[in-house]
Amino acid sequence: MTTYILDGIWGGHSRWETLRRRIEKTVGPCRIWRYDNSGLTSLEKAGAELREELHRIDGPLNLVGYSMGGLVIRESLREAHNLPVRRAVFLHCPHRGSLAAHAFFLPACREMRPGSSFLSRLEEAPWKILTLATWCALDAVVVPGQSARWKHAGTTIQSPVPAHAWPVVSPGIHAAVIRFLRKPL
């Protein structure tokens, strides 16, 4: 089983190395999927690129997406229901968009605005994957913070620290992710 980690907009992919090592040590092979997270590439295009990558993997998958990376994951699976995804984790992902996205005119930001046609398409897609979602009530990036709560997540954790980047460094969130990924089906 392979786990993929996707960072959010403008994040340095290597900042996920601690979580990657922890997952690899306790769950199995794990890689950080580096993609154009500059906001210049649409989430639809990034999702298609991830979908192509995942089709080349033999065996079950776990997917961990932080912020915008979670939307890339959801887009990649929107038209690829046959991928053997075992579990998905969304860390502070703007499932219903973020008002902060109105401050930028980049393609990915336009797609992350509440009510966008992109988010509407994602919302209409079926979802049957075991999912963990984290959210932060006072998130200053995913505004409102409630947007990171997702109805399809069987497990939801409210972050105790009011910081969007907390999942990057939080030992508690990392431990929860690993427990979730290790849980038998």
Helix (H) or strand (E) holding 111: helix 107-111
Give the number of other CB atoms < 10 A from CB of residue 127.
Answer: 16
The average pLDDT across 100-116 equals 98
pLDDT of amino acid 79: 83
pLDDT of amino acid 81: 73
Amino acid, res. 183:
K
d(CA 112, CA 123) in angstroms, rounded, equals 13
The pTM (predicted TM-score) of the whole model is 0.97
How many structural domains does the chain have?
1
CA dist 183 → 26, 43, 112, 148 (Å): 11, 30, 31, 23
What pLDDT band is residue 118 in, cutting at 50, 70 and 90? very high
Q: What is the pLDDT of residues 130-154, one digit of tens each?
A: 999 999 999 999 999 999 999 999 9
The average pLDDT across 154-161 equals 95
pLDDT of amino acid 82: 83
* CATH at 166: 3.40.50.1820
- Asked whether the beta carbons of 122 and 59 are under 8 A apart, the reply is no
Expressed as residue numbers, the domain containing 152 is: 2-182
- Asked whether the beta carbons of 84 and 24 are under 8 A apart, the reply is no
Q: Closest by alpha carbon to 107, among 46, 34, 35?
A: 46
Give φ, ψ of 71 to 5 degrees. -70, -35
